[in-house]
Amino acid sequence: MKKTLSIAAIFLLASCATYTPPTTEEATATIKASFQARGIAQLDRLDQSELQASCSQYATSEMPKAQREKLEKAALDAVRYPANNNWLGDWKVGEQIAQNGRGLQFSDTASTVAGGNCYACHQIQKAEISYGNIGPSLYQYGKLRGAASEGGQAQVPEAIMRYTWAKIWNSHAFNACSNMPRYGAAAILNEDQIRHVMALLLDPQSPVNAQ
């Protein structure tokens, strides 16, 4: 019995010692071969940007600081801020966008208006009790960052406006390998939609801050 186990162990060790992991090219080819283009979901979605490829490369180890900072700076420099400093829209529309998980799926069309699906990862307002916790809670986001109402108008520090807009536009500007969608950079939401989501987070009248 002991002899049988020893032989089996030798074969097991030998198989482990001779295993050669697939190259990046081989793994990529296997992944692409397992997907099929359907509707608006085409295979080009599997093509990685320089940033995504870097994050895959360092998925199990820490990315070098200089490389991470370079990628984050490039993402931040590419943020397109709103014209005329028109930061905030209608928080009620922003709530609808945050609740909407449609868009960019194979069952959608190119004309389907995408939502943000923000509740999938964040708590936002207390009235909605179904939310994910992959991301931090955004409840009282504006209130905790100095947003106030003056003469019926929202008053928010400009630095907070710029940071929040950039975070929504491309979260990789602050965390190179963030899991948050690049809503502006990837054209998931348009500029008006981002304004509405900004209002949901920052308008003092929004239930995010008023409750």
Q: Over the stretch 153-165, which tens digit does the pLDDT of each residue have?
A: 889 999 999 999 9
Mean residue pLDDT across the chain: 89
The count of residues in the chain is: 211
Please determine, for residue 6, whether its predicted confidence score (pLDDT) is greater than 80.
Answer: no
The whole-number pLDDT of residue 72 equals: 97
The tokens for 109 are 């069309």
The whole-number pLDDT of residue 194 equals: 98
- Percentage of residues in the chain having pLDDT higher than 70: 91
Please determine, for residue 121, whether its predicted confidence score (pLDDT) is greater than 80.
Answer: yes
The whole-number pLDDT of residue 83 equals: 84
The tokens for 166 are 């950039």
How do the domains of the chain map onto residue ranges? Answer: 83-210
Please determine, for residue 4, whether its predicted confidence score (pLDDT) is greater than 80.
Answer: no
With beta carbons less than 8 A apart as the criterion, state whether 108 and 120 touch.
no
9 vs 133 pLDDT, higher one: 133
Q: Over the stretch 41-53, which tens digit does the pLDDT of each residue have?
A: 888 888 888 999 9
Q: Over the stretch 56-81, which tens digit does the pLDDT of each residue have?
A: 999 889 999 999 999 999 999 999 99
Candidates 1.10.10.10, 3.20.20.70, 1.10.760.10, 3.40.50.150; correct CATH number of 83-210? 1.10.760.10
Q: Which residues contact 57 (CB under 8 A, 6 or more apart)?
A: 24, 63
Residue with tokens 């390998």: 177
The whole-number pLDDT of residue 150 equals: 80
Neighbours of 184 (CB within 10 A): 21
Exposure b/e, 141-178, CB count within 10 A at least 16 = b: bbbebebeeeeeebebeeebbeebbbbbbbbbbeebbb
Q: Torsion over CA of 151, 123, 158 and 116, rounded to 10 degrees?
A: -100
